[in-house]
Amino acid sequence: MKIIQIYGLNRHFDNGEERFHALRDIDLEVEKGECVILHGVSGSGKTTLLSIVAGLDQPSSGEVLVEGEAIAKLPDRHLSRFRGRHIGMIFQHYNLLEEFSVRDNVSVPLIPLGLKMDEVERRCDAAMQLANISHKARQSAGRLSGGEKQRAAIARALAADPEIVLCDEPTANLDRANARRFLEILGQLHDLGKTILIATHDPIFEELDFPVRVVEMEDGRIVR
Amino acid sequence: MGDSAFLHFFTTELFGQWRRQAGVVLLSTILIFLLASTLFVSSSLRHSLQSALKSESDFTVQRIRGDHLLPVPMEWVDEIAALHGVDRVAPRVWGRYYTEPRGHYFLIVGIDLLEDQSQRALQKLIQGIDLRRFLQGDRMLVGPGAARWMREHFYRGSFSFLNPGGQFIKVTLDSILPRQSSLVADDMIVVPIETARKILGLREDEATDITFNVPNDDEWANVQNKVLAMHYDLRAVSKRESRAAYSRLFDFKGGFFLVLFLIVLSAFALILYQRYSQVYSREKRAIGILRALGWSIRDVLRLKLYETLSVVIAAFLLGTTLAYGYVFGLGAPLLRNIFLGSAEASTVPPLVPVMDFSVLATIFLLYGVTFLAAVIFPVWRVSVSDPKEAML
């Protein structure tokens, strides 16, 4: 079953009379449970593509279907709910709310879903356990190490139990040991049947011990 | 949105950033304190004056030549009493008495046994006094402010007044008027009418002014015209005219403060707007994160609305409570002198607590709406922008 379908996608930015093409004629299909690595140098369009799949950015032209939903056409409220339920995001800079505790950060995507407090608690506990950060639940995010922040961000991405997990340069700010721990968690997510899209230029992902599809990007195009 | 989870998140955010919130609450409290103090003083004085005027007679007749007030001949009393529709005509002997040191004014009011006391407020004040005994000699009842002044200047059982003829009139202190006598009686000295005449330099057939009532409201203008036609140097002032004059005075001073407040409030709103729209990149980033994690624009606005309302309500409660204490507990030092004039500074009356809820509602709306607009509009602008951009 195809969970992400992208056809004829273009994204350009206008700067005065100049036009910058971030994505050109992208066609991509991702099966449910598949792990796809978008590989390419900085500026190749990986992050822009992830942002469009997450509904954080709008395509200039083309069609993007996520779980059969044309997300670019959804109104804000529906798009926000859709993103909250179906897509987990792991950002390069973690993007945690620094003054909040790990538990409060993990609960952020659950709050708009209309869950009761005990259900929110239960899901937070499960996600923190999966990301191996339960022991830091009460600590404020600003006081965590880089690896711990990454795990808190993973727990947050998994809290709503999304089908799709999008990772933008997830190991860019991690040392080797923490990057390998991240790969282990990815393996767990894969075992849970999550669809994973990773934008990276880090060769460490070659060490993944489960099947992955590598999509090479260059100047906004898929080249392989 | 799950309300309990949302409220938990909201309170965590509110108290997690208490340093920032405390700064805003403090500034807001100062603003509300200033406005509420001004309005409390103004309402209290207005209320006291209106109460005093309510107990006054309908008309006061004076004799005026050029710009000088002169004593009124007693025969005018009979002339006015002969008019149809006129009631309770009474001469009054009273006047301001100036004394050194530090330029101080007392209000001398003369009373007698037979007089139908024209001032109902005065009647209340002297309730319980044995008038027969009091009127037998040069004795005085003094208001709380006047008593305090005399004590501070070592006048213990008596005070010698210097009359316009250069003679000293020694008057013995009988008792002190109750503290509740407030605005009308704080610097008042009540003496027998003959003593008052001696102090103020009036003859036996003279009074300071004459008061009378006209029970039928429709006849006020008619009677006033008849009285005015009696003598070329007669002036008849109605209670309504006095009330309007006082209202204009307090509206002017209150309005002046309101304009000042609006200027300060505008500056404050501008600072808030600047902070939320430009300076506070951390706020923008947080909104971007919430949006990227599934919060809709409405969810973000709801969170910020709750946060802002909490700040507004906290500041409002703190500001008005402090203002209440400052005005009615401490007597509004400084501010009171601005309203009453510095010449009265040593005998300013106590401010009677008056709680005007429309005034409180005005403060809340004026301040709350401005504050909300200054915060919510920039938050909305960030919320509707690309969440990815807000996180950068």
Does pLDDT of B344 surpass 70? no
Alpha carbon A179 to its chain's center: 16
The pLDDT assigned to B145 comes to 84
Q: Do B5 and A77 touch (CB under 8 A)?
A: no
> Chain A residues with CB inside 8 Å of B1's CB?
111-114
Long-range contacts of A113-116 (CB under 8 A, 24+ apart): A113/A81, A113/A84, A113/A85, A113/A160, A113/B1, A113/B2, A113/B294, A114/B1, A114/B2, A115/B2, A115/B5, A116/B2, A116/B4, A116/B5
Q: Are A59 and A11 in contact (CB under 8 A)?
A: yes
Q: How many structural domains are present in chain A?
A: 1
Whether B113 has its CB under 8 Å from any CB of chain A: the answer is: no
Give the pLDDT mean for B252-273: 70
The pLDDT assigned to B345 comes to 42
> Chain A residues with CB inside 8 Å of B306's CB?
none
Give the pLDDT mean for B322-331: 89
A64 assigned to some structural domain: no
The pLDDT assigned to B197 comes to 92
- Coil vs helix vs strand at B99: strand
pLDDT digits (tens, 9 = 90+) for B191-211: 998 899 999 999 989 999 998
Rounded Cα–Cα distance for residues A113 and A95 (Å) = 20
Rounded Cα–Cα distance for residues B78 and B76 (Å) = 5
Q: What is the CATH number of the domain that holds A180?
A: 3.40.50.300
pLDDT digits (tens, 9 = 90+) for B84-115: 888 888 888 989 888 876 677 888 988 876 55
The pLDDT assigned to B115 comes to 55
* pLDDT, averaged across chain B: 81
What residue type is assigned to position B169 of the chain?
A: I
pLDDT digits (tens, 9 = 90+) for B356-378: 788 788 778 878 888 888 888 88
Helix (H) or strand (E) holding B65: strand B59-65
Whether A176 has its CB under 8 Å from any CB of chain B: the answer is: no
B65, β-bridge pairs = B68
Rounded Cα–Cα distance for residues B286 and A98 (Å) = 9
Rounded Cα–Cα distance for residues A205 and A99 (Å) = 32
DSSP states of chain A as a string? -EEEEEEEEEEEEEETTEEEEEEEEEEEEEETT-EEEEE--TTSSHHHHHHHHHTSS--SEEEEEETTEEGGGS-HHHHHHHHHHHEEEE-TT----TTSBHHHHHHGGGGGGT--HHHHHHHHHHHHHHTT-GGGTTSBGGGS-HHHHHHHHHHHHHTT--SEEEEESTTTTS-HHHHHHHHHHHHHHHHTT-EEEEEE--GGGGG-SS--EEEEEETTEE--
A172 assigned to some structural domain: yes
Strand A2-15 to A18-31 pairing: antiparallel
With a pLDDT cut of 70, the percent of chain B lying above it is 83
A14 assigned to some structural domain: no
Q: Do B9 and A107 touch (CB under 8 A)?
A: yes
SS3 content of chain B, % helix, strand, coil (to 5): 60, 15, 25
Give residue A45's domain range.
34-58+75-222
> Chain A residues with CB inside 8 Å of B299's CB?
80, 111-112
A159 assigned to some structural domain: yes
Q: Where are the alpha helices (DSSP H) in B220-296?
A: 220-228, 239-274, 281-292
Where does residue A88 rank: exposed (0-12), middle (13-18), buried (19+ CB within 10 A)? Answer: buried
Average pLDDT per consecutive 10 residues, chain A (224 residues; last block may be shorter): 93 86 93 93 90 91 93 89 91 88 94 89 93 92 91 92 92 86 90 93 88 92 87
Identity of the residue in B2, B16, B387 whose CB atom sits nearest the CB atom of A120 = B2
A12 assigned to some structural domain: no
Which residue, chain included where needed, has tokens 């990301």? A131
Does pLDDT of B128 surpass 50? yes
Identity of the residue in B1, B8, B286 whose CB atom sits nearest the CB atom of A97 = B286
The pLDDT assigned to A62 comes to 94
Q: Do B294 and A109 touch (CB under 8 A)?
A: yes
With a pLDDT cut of 90, the percent of chain B lying above it is 15
Whether A43 has its CB under 8 Å from any CB of chain B: the answer is: no
CA closest to A86 among chain B residues: B294
Please give the residue that has the higher pLDDT: either A190 or B352.
A190
Number of A to B CB contacts under 8 A, please give it: 91
The pLDDT assigned to B114 comes to 57
pLDDT digits (tens, 9 = 90+) for B214-253: 988 888 888 888 888 898 899 988 888 877 777 776 666 6
Whether A56 has its CB under 8 Å from any CB of chain B: the answer is: yes
Closest CA to B311 of B349, B350, B367, B257: B367
Identity of the residue in B1, B6, B387 whose CB atom sits nearest the CB atom of A56 = B387
Whether B82 has its CB under 8 Å from any CB of chain A: the answer is: no
- Coil vs helix vs strand at B295: coil
Substitution target in B293, B299, B302 with the highest count of A β-carbons within 10 Å is: B293
The pLDDT assigned to B346 comes to 47
Q: How far is A48 from chain B (nearest CA, A)?
A: 10
Q: Do A100 and B12 touch (CB under 8 A)?
A: yes
Whether B301 has its CB under 8 Å from any CB of chain A: the answer is: no
A18 assigned to some structural domain: no
- Coil vs helix vs strand at B204: coil
Identity of the residue in A76, A99, A113 whose CB atom sits nearest the CB atom of B17 = A99
Token pair for B264: 């300060």
Rounded Cα–Cα distance for residues B366 and B312 (Å) = 11
The pLDDT assigned to A63 comes to 93
The pLDDT assigned to B254 comes to 66
Residue A39 contacts by C-beta under 8 Å, 6 or more apart in sequence? Answer: A46, A200, A201, A205, A214, A215, A216, A217
The pLDDT assigned to A67 comes to 93
Identity of the residue in B1, B296, B391 whose CB atom sits nearest the CB atom of A76 = B296
Whether A115 has its CB under 8 Å from any CB of chain B: the answer is: yes
Whether A95 has its CB under 8 Å from any CB of chain B: the answer is: yes
The pLDDT assigned to B380 comes to 86
What residue type is assigned to position A114 of the chain?
A: G
Please give the residue that has the higher pLDDT: either B132 or B211.
B211
Whether A66 has its CB under 8 Å from any CB of chain B: the answer is: no
A21 assigned to some structural domain: no
